[in-house]
Amino acid sequence: MSEVSLQQTIGKGYVDFWRCRGRYRVIKGGRGSKKSVTAVLWHIYHMMKLPLANTLVIRKTFNTHKVSTFAQLKWATRRLGVDHLWQFKKSPLEATYKPTGQKILFRGLDDPMSITSITVDTGYLCGAWFEEAYQILNEDDFDKIDMSIRGELPEGYFKQLTLTFNPWNERHWLKQRFFDMPNPNTLALTTTFQCNEFLGDDDRELFEWMRKHKPKRYRVEGEGNWGLRKARSLRIGVRKNLNGEISPSCPITKLYLVWISVIPMTRVLLWLP
């Protein structure tokens, strides 16, 4: 592909992403801001440029790959006019660059063993793409995979972890780790639908409607800003005795439950005597 047509294929707004060679390349963005499409185009293009590079694609659950990352990477080979050079297999789920045997491997965090024991036939595992990284609630899960991308590489090669996600809540570890602490190894970007020239006018109208009528959603889905933490919810309950009555003589009526929203899907229980 010539450079000019590559530029047209990717469009605007992703120059830093495309050129980045740092270890962590992290994009938070609104809906439809080209995060996934640009990530798949980059990985196909660079694997063809670097004949020893293999890529790991991670999602929280393995069975979501087939209809997302796998299908999108296949689409990217067609978009770049190189689909005849790639083989996409569903069992096991993988993509192979036919001229060299380089592979794109797909894994889910729901099968941790499949992640720690990855070997490749040709070359090195030097890249990992975490799609919908917001779903990775446990930072340790990320760190384990980070550790698997290691070792010396030949000249011209680099190790890189790419993370793409919608920033639903500012309390997520991704914010503190990549956006609040400047690090020369990290490129942290925010993108919005405004840089997506491939959207139709009807799509843009949807965003405009959201801006007017659902400003909170628009903040995240339109502007790619961190969602605000939820207001603390406090619920106090009194335990009942075995007959379902609240009895002052029953010792456990003295126990109160306090629920505190910390981050989505996580609650802390405090027992107050």
Ligand X SMILES: Nc1ncnc2c1ncn2[C@@H]1O[C@H](COP(=O)(O)OP(=O)(O)OP(=O)(O)O)[C@@H](O)[C@H]1O
Interface residue list for ligand X (CB under 6 A): 9-11, 29, 31-37, 166, 196, 198-199
| Residue 117 C-beta: closest distance to Mg ion, Å | 28
Q: Are 88 and 39 in contact (CB under 8 A)?
A: no
Residue closer to Mg ion (CB basis): 130 or 142: 130
Report the partner that residue 55 touches, choosing among Mg ion, ligand X, none (CB closer than 5 to 8 A by kind).
none
> Rule CB under 5 A: which of 137-176 touch Mg ion?
none
Number of helices (H), then strands (E), belonging to the chain: the values are 9, 11
CA 209 – CA 207 distance, rounded (Å) = 5
CA 174 – CA 133 distance, rounded (Å) = 8
| Residue 222 C-beta: closest distance to ligand X, Å | 11
Looking at 20, 27, 30, 36, which residue binds Mg ion (CB under 5 A)? Answer: 36
Q: Are 23 and 186 in contact (CB under 8 A)?
A: yes
- β pairing state of 102-108 and 53-59: parallel
Task: Count Cα atoms within 13 angstroms, Cβ side, for 126.
Answer: 22
| Residue 66 C-beta: closest distance to ligand X, Å | 16
| Residue 79 C-beta: closest distance to Mg ion, Å | 15
Report the partner that residue 65 touches, choosing among ligand X, Mg ion, none (CB closer than 5 to 8 A by kind).
none
CA 17 – CA 219 distance, rounded (Å) = 23
Tokens for 206? 């949807």
Q: Are 145 and 111 in contact (CB under 8 A)?
A: no
Report the partner that residue 171 touches, choosing among Mg ion, ligand X, none (CB closer than 5 to 8 A by kind).
none
Residue closer to ligand X (CB basis): 190 or 247: 190
Tokens for 259? 């629920």
Q: Are 108 and 63 in contact (CB under 8 A)?
A: yes
Is the N-terminal amide bond of 273 cis, ω within 30° of 0?
no
Tokens for 256? 């109160």
Residue closer to ligand X (CB basis): 20 or 125: 20
Report the partner that residue 9 touches, choosing among Mg ion, ligand X, none (CB closer than 5 to 8 A by kind).
ligand X
| Residue 242 C-beta: closest distance to ligand X, Å | 50
Strand partners, 268: 260
Q: Are 236 and 258 in contact (CB under 8 A)?
A: yes
Q: Could you say whether residue 196 binds Mg ion (CB under 5 A)?
A: no
Q: Which stretch binds Mg ion (CB under 5 A): 35-43, 118-126, 178-186, 237-245?
A: 35-43
Q: Which stretch binds Mg ion (CB under 5 A): 33-41, 72-80, 85-93, 235-243?
A: 33-41
Report the partner that residue 31 touches, choosing among ligand X, Mg ion, none (CB closer than 5 to 8 A by kind).
ligand X
Residue closer to ligand X (CB basis): 10 or 145: 10
Residue closer to ligand X (CB basis): 198 or 271: 198
| Residue 199 C-beta: closest distance to ligand X, Å | 6
Q: Are 41 and 5 in contact (CB under 8 A)?
A: no
Report the partner that residue 37 touches, choosing among ligand X, Mg ion, none (CB closer than 5 to 8 A by kind).
ligand X
CA 179 – CA 189 distance, rounded (Å) = 9
Report the interface residues with Mg ion, using CB under 5 A. 36
